[in-house]
Chain A
């Protein structure tokens, strides 16, 4: 950060200090800080900041509002345009219709089942492998870890063709297992847990457990797992949301068994003779609502999960 004062028209504070002494310099520093809204707690936000934020949030919420508003229209129609900016009163009855049309209970259970199972499995296997990579020394460790990192960037789309062929050969077409099995492990998860456990779990704790005569699995269970819990919860949350919002693969492999996952069911809500958007949007709401609910409870965790990596650096 050198060289700033020779391009700027104002003399720098150190320069002022040299010329006019400490008092003038500190007064100048204060004045400038005031002008730039900087306090020792950080920049002081002004009205423009709040205005931009409010605008941003309005933009982010508007599409959801529009969906709710269309879903609440009183007369079914295939298109609304701006009329639907003003909500109607039929929200509940439209949701009820969508509820029946997509067999919501089945789709919700199915989606929940897939997301939960995939998340549990990802977290479990990632934590195990992450612990091993981060804290244990073994032959081939570096090679295997490099392998994990290298495979992280491989797009899963690359594999839809063989996965499709394999799932068919296994007789899993149309079954939720065809969605679950490919998601059971994640190279990311392993990388993430390796990073976290490497930082958060001191060797001393493992040593101590070992000195106490704990078996390895016991050490993992009672020392590593508790230490990894914050990262594991994050991984769970993000994997869960990732599966819940997944569309491409379930759409491909579930076939006409559309009622088994919400995203696919909602996208298939178009009618046989005309598309009633009150119902389609109601379906979208039904798909999204459970996650919004989750967001209200775990939004803080999501925020800190996204920020965690960088902050800890």
Chain B
């Protein structure tokens, strides 16, 4: 941010212009006053709940009976000792937790990989000199205004096991119907489709923006050098999208691992979702079921749900960091180490790209919060 502006308002006070002490005080206090509302509210609705989750996670906390002291893992870990780790231990002993984790990762991969490939293709097409540019851009963005829960309801009719649109069509052409709910992988594909429906267009626009930032003369230079369409794309355009791609991937990790609305409404049956063998139980659904569906007096339903929340958070942070490292490594692997000047130029370009990506990343991150806002 604007390092070239060395003169800031506070470094050059002009007492003759400032008539009252009050005025000066206002200028001094204002920076704090302006950030204060945000921080005050944030402490109440953001920071405090975060710490409180940590606290609840260590307690035998039940919705009906309240806080019942330190958590006890119970017969699951063959202990009656209470300890702050009780709920965490309990969660780590649950097969359902690992299944939920597997499902979340699987759904996340099934949604983000095809989504990014498709978005790249669409962005590449949109980046051409099209007629009615705005129309096409709006067209791909349309699903964004459909709530995930609404999309879940609509797709539950498309992916119904017996009478769903797809299975009826499959049967009419003599194929076997697909067990959309019964089979783990198909249910993941169905759920990932719902996610892709809503987010592909959105990511297309982010990537399109990044593509437009690739200077036309660089592309022309590549063409002049005799590179083909694919070569131009893979050697010129794609590397320049790297920072944006990192952001899209990280944010879809954050959003993808928290997926709730889509599997819950895809479930399409009474009671909380996930399937009889937890085929499409995601970590968020698991949290919901633990904390808000089975409320047996004496069991720390809230405590366990809070423990799951914390584990989920740590996993997300871990994956985001890994993601970043891997993409960095991959990207730098193919780069030729040249003289210092080139390195400096590369570093400078990287910084610029990163700044640009941070901005475009805003939208991607927004998308992540929208998915998780709750």
Which of A's residues lie within 8 Å of B, judged by CB?
Answer: 1, 3-5, 8, 10-14, 29, 32-33, 36-45, 49-50, 52-53, 56-57, 60-61, 63-64, 66-67, 70, 79-82, 84-85, 125-126, 128-129, 131-138, 141, 144, 151-166, 181-188, 190-192, 195, 198-199, 203, 206-207, 210-211, 213, 215-217, 220, 238, 241-250, 252, 263, 266-267, 277, 280-281, 284, 287-288, 291-292, 294-295, 299-300, 302-303, 305-313
Q: Is B174 an interface residue (CB 8 A)?
A: no
Contact of B149 among A137, A263, A306 (CB under 8 A): A263
Given contacts A161-B291, A245-B146, A302-B138, 15 further A-B contacts (CB under 8 A): A8-B226, A36-B229, A45-B130, A79-B160, A136-B34, A154-B50, A165-B56, A181-B45, A192-B366, A210-B17, A220-B30, A242-B369, A281-B154, A284-B154, A307-B206
Q: Is B2 an interface residue (CB 8 A)?
A: yes
Q: Is B325 an interface residue (CB 8 A)?
A: no
**Once the chains bind, are B10 and A136 in contact (CB under 8 Å)?**
yes
Residues of A within 8 Å of B141, CB to CB, are: 295, 299, 302-303, 306
**Once the chains bind, are B287 and A157 in contact (CB under 8 Å)?**
yes
B359-374 residues with Cβ-Cβ distance < 8 A to A are: 359-363, 365-366, 369-370, 372-374
Given contacts A125-B41, A128-B34, A136-B30, contact A303 B5 (CB under 8 A): no
**Once the chains bind, are B163 and A216 in contact (CB under 8 Å)?**
no
Cα separation A267 to B18 with both chains bound (whole Å): 60
Q: Is B95 an interface residue (CB 8 A)?
A: no
Given contacts A43-B129, A263-B149, contact A151 B42 (CB under 8 A): yes
8 contacts between A and B (CB under 8 A): A12-B225, A43-B128, A64-B154, A128-B34, A132-B30, A157-B284, A247-B260, A284-B150
**Once the chains bind, are B31 and A310 in contact (CB under 8 Å)?**
no
Q: Is B244 an interface residue (CB 8 A)?
A: yes
Contact of B235 among A4, A53, A192 (CB under 8 A): A4
Cα separation A10 to B151 with both chains bound (whole Å): 50
Contact of B320 among A153, A182, A199, A211 (CB under 8 A): A153
Cα separation A143 to B41 with both chains bound (whole Å): 18
Residues of A within 8 Å of B358, CB to CB, are: 195, 309
**Once the chains bind, are B369 and A188 in contact (CB under 8 Å)?**
yes
Least CB distance from A104 to B in Å reads: 15
Least CB distance from A211 to B in Å reads: 7
Residues of A within 8 Å of B27, CB to CB, are: 210, 216
**Once the chains bind, are B8 and A203 in contact (CB under 8 Å)?**
yes
Residues of B within 8 Å of A210, CB to CB, are: 9, 17, 27
**Once the chains bind, are A4 and B49 in contact (CB under 8 Å)?**
no
**Once the chains bind, are B165 and A263 in contact (CB under 8 Å)?**
no
Cα separation A292 to B144 with both chains bound (whole Å): 10
Given contacts A307-B209, A310-B360, contact A242 B370 (CB under 8 A): yes
CB-CB contacts of B239-279 with A at 8 A, as 1s and 0s? 00000100000000010001011000100000000000000
Contact of B363 among A39, A85, A243, A305 (CB under 8 A): A305
Which of B's residues lie within 8 Å of A, judged by CB?
Answer: 1-2, 5, 7-11, 14, 17-19, 23, 26-27, 30-32, 34-35, 37-39, 41-42, 45-50, 52-53, 56, 61, 121-122, 125-130, 134, 136-151, 153-155, 157-158, 160, 162-165, 167-169, 172, 197, 200-202, 205-206, 208-210, 212-213, 216, 218-229, 231-232, 235-236, 244, 254, 258, 260-261, 265, 284, 287-288, 291-292, 302, 305-306, 309-310, 312-313, 316-317, 320, 336, 352-353, 355-363, 365-366, 369-370, 372-374
**Once the chains bind, are A85 and B165 in contact (CB under 8 Å)?**
yes
Residues of B within 8 Å of A131, CB to CB, are: 34
Q: Which residue of B lies closest to A303 (CB)?
A: B137
Given contacts A39-B129, A309-B361, A310-B360, contact A295 B157 (CB under 8 A): no
**Once the chains bind, are B309 and A161 in contact (CB under 8 Å)?**
yes
Given contacts A60-B142, A309-B209, A313-B213, contact A165 B302 (CB under 8 A): yes
Residues of A within 8 Å of B169, CB to CB, are: 82
Determine the main DSSP class of B at the interface with A: helix
Determine the main DSSP class of A at the interface with B: helix
**Once the chains bind, are B372 and A157 in contact (CB under 8 Å)?**
yes
**Once the chains bind, are B129 and A45 in contact (CB under 8 Å)?**
yes
Q: Which residue of A lies closest to B218 (CB)?
A: A1
**Once the chains bind, are A44 and B145 in contact (CB under 8 Å)?**
no
Residues of B within 8 Å of A158, CB to CB, are: 49-50, 53, 309-310, 312-313
**Once the chains bind, are B146 and A64 in contact (CB under 8 Å)?**
yes
**Once the chains bind, are B149 and A247 in contact (CB under 8 Å)?**
yes
Given contacts A38-B223, A247-B149, A310-B206, contact A303 B2 (CB under 8 A): no
Cα separation A287 to B265 with both chains bound (whole Å): 15
**Once the chains bind, are A153 and B254 in contact (CB under 8 Å)?**
yes
Given contacts A281-B154, A311-B209, contact A187 B128 (CB under 8 A): no
Residues of A within 8 Å of B144, CB to CB, are: 241, 302
Q: Which residue of B lies closest to A295 (CB)?
A: B145
Residues of A within 8 Å of B320, CB to CB, are: 153
Residues of B within 8 Å of A305, CB to CB, are: 363
List of 5 A-B pairs having minimum Cβ-Cβ separation, nearest first: A313-B356, A309-B359, A310-B209, A249-B374, A310-B360
Cα separation A134 to B34 with both chains bound (whole Å): 12
**Once the chains bind, are A155 and B316 in contact (CB under 8 Å)?**
yes
**Once the chains bind, are B42 and A36 in contact (CB under 8 Å)?**
no
Given contacts A45-B130, A132-B30, A307-B208, contact A57 B316 (CB under 8 A): no
Given contacts A81-B165, A156-B373, contact A137 B8 (CB under 8 A): yes
**Once the chains bind, are A188 and B312 in contact (CB under 8 Å)?**
no
Contact of B312 among A157, A241, A287 (CB under 8 A): A157
Residues of B within 8 Å of A220, CB to CB, are: 30, 34
Cα separation A83 to B147 with both chains bound (whole Å): 25
Cα separation A135 to B34 with both chains bound (whole Å): 12
Residues of A within 8 Å of B41, CB to CB, are: 125, 184-185
Cα separation A13 to B225 with both chains bound (whole Å): 6
**Once the chains bind, are A247 and B49 in contact (CB under 8 Å)?**
no
Residues of A within 8 Å of B138, CB to CB, are: 295, 299-300, 302-303
**Once the chains bind, are A66 and B157 in contact (CB under 8 Å)?**
yes
Residues of A within 8 Å of B164, CB to CB, are: 81
Residues of A within 8 Å of B218, CB to CB, are: 1
Cα separation A44 to B219 with both chains bound (whole Å): 13
Cα separation A291 to B144 with both chains bound (whole Å): 10
